C-alpha cells in the first residue's frame, strides 16, 4: 500500500513537472513570436527586451492583462527616463497589446477590446494610438455605439477618444460622417474639433462625393472656426491635399451647405 502511494505520488509529480515545463516552453515560444512581431513593426531594439523581460518577470498566464496593468501603473519597474521620455517603449506596448488582442477568440475580442480601451483611457499616449486603431479589432456596430456614447460625454477628453475611435470610418459609414460633421460644427472644445479634422478619412483614392464632404468640412473650419489653431489645422490639411493632387476641381468648387 505504501509503495503504491509512493509510486502514485511520483507519477503525479512527474506529470505536473512535465506540464509546467510545457507551459514554460509555450510561454517562451509566444514571447519569441511577440519579439518577431515587434521587430516587424520597427519597435525600438532597446524597448523590445524591456517589454519581453517584464512579461517574463510577471509570471502571468494572461499577458494582455499584465501589459494593461503595467501601462496603467506607469511602468513602475523602469527607470524614470524610460517612463517619461521614451515614446519608443510606449509604442512597443501599443503593438504588444494589439498582438495579444488579435489572439483573443473572435466572439470575445470586441467586448474585451472596448474594456481595455476604457482601462487605458488615462494613459494618454497608449490610449491615443489604440483608439485610432480600434476599428481593426472591434466590430463596427459595437465600436460605433461606444464611440457615439463617448462623443456625447461631458468631458472633452472622452469626446476626443470617441472621435479617434470612429471618425476614420466616415468614408464608409454615412451615420459616422454625420456624427463627425455635427460634432465639428457644435462642439465647444477646440481640441475635439481639431481631432475631428485630424481623424477624417484621407482623400487619396476617395470618391468625388467624399472629397466634396471632407473638403467642405475643412473649408468651413478654415473660414468660420473661432479658434486660430483649428483654422490653421484646416488650412494645413487643405494645402496638403492640394500639394498631393487630391483636390479635384469639382471638390474645390463645391459650395458647403454650411455657408
The 10s digit of each residue's pLDDT in 39-79 is 999 999 999 999 999 999 887 778 999 999 999 998 888 87
pLDDT attached to residue 4: 46
Identify the three-state secondary structure at position 56.
helix
Dihedral of the CA atoms 86, 91, 94, 98 (nearest 10)?
-150
Mean confidence (pLDDT) of the chain:
84
Which residues does 119 contact at the CB level (< 8 Å), separation at least 6?
Answer: 68, 72
d(CA 139, CA 76): 33
Average pLDDT over residues 96-114: 92
Task: Pick 12 or 134 by higher pLDDT.
Answer: 134
Given a cut of 50, is residue 18 above it in pLDDT? no
Closest CA to 127 of 76, 161, 92: 161
- Which residue has cell 498631393? 244
d(CA 128, CA 121): 8
Q: Where are the domains of the chain?
A: 31-138
Tell me the pLDDT band of 36, cut-offs 50, 70 and 90: very high
pLDDT attached to residue 31: 93
Task: Pick 95 or 251 by higher pLDDT.
Answer: 95
pLDDT attached to residue 28: 65
Q: Are 178 and 209 in contact, with CB atoms under 8 Å apart? A: no
Identify the three-state secondary structure at position 105.
coil
pLDDT attached to residue 27: 61
Q: Are 180 and 200 in contact, with CB atoms under 8 Å apart? A: yes
d(CA 147, CA 165): 6
Q: What is the DSSP letter of 201?
A: P
Closest CA to 144 of 106, 186, 172: 172
pLDDT attached to residue 250: 55
> Where is average pLDDT lowest: 167-176, 183-192, 206-215?
206-215
d(CA 87, CA 89): 5
pLDDT attached to residue 255: 47
Report the alpha-carbon angle 137-95-91, nearest 5.
Answer: 130
Amino acid at each position: 500500500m505504501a509503495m503504491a502511494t509512493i509510486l502514485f505520488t511520483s507519477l503525479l509529480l512527474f506529470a505536473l513537472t512535465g506540464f509546467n515545463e510545457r507551459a514554460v516552453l509555450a510561454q517562451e515560444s509566444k514571447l519569441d513570436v511577440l519579439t518577431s512581431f515587434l521587430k516587424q513593426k520597427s519597435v525600438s531594439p532597446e524597448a523590445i527586451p524591456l517589454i519581453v523581460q517584464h512579461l517574463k518577470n510577471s509570471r502571468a498566464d494572461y499577458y494582455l492583462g499584465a501589459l494593461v496593468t503595467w501601462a496603467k501603473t506607469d511602468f513602475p519597474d523602469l527607470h524614470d527616463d524610460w517612463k517619461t521620455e521614451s515614446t519608443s517603449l510606449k509604442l512597443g506596448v501599443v503593438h504588444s497589446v494589439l498582438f495579444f488582442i488579435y489572439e483573443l477568440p473572435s466572439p470575445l475580442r470586441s467586448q474585451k477590446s472596448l474594456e481595455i480601451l476604457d482601462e487605458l483611457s488615462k494613459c494618454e499616449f497608449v490610449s491615443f494610438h489604440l483608439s485610432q486603431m480600434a476599428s481593426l479589432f472591434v466590430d463596427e456596430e459595437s465600436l460605433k455605439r461606444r464611440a457615439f456614447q463617448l462623443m456625447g460625454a461631458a468631458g472633452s477628453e472622452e469626446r476626443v477618444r470617441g472621435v479617434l475611435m470612429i471618425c476614420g470610418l466616415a468614408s464608409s459609414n454615412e451615420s459616422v460622417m454625420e456624427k463627425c460633421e455635427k460634432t465639428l460644427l457644435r462642439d465647444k472644445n477646440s481640441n475635439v474639433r481639431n481631432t475631428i479634422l485630424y481623424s477624417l478619412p484621407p482623400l487619396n483614392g476617395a470618391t468625388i462625393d467624399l472629397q466634396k464632404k471632407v473638403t467642405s468640412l475643412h473649408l468651413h473650419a478654415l473660414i468660420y472656426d473661432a479658434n486660430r489653431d483649428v483654422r490653421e489645422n484646416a488650412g494645413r490639411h487643405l494645402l496638403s491635399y492640394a500639394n498631393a493632387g487630391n483636390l479635384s476641381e469639382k471638390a474645390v468648387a463645391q459650395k458647403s451647405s454650411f455657408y
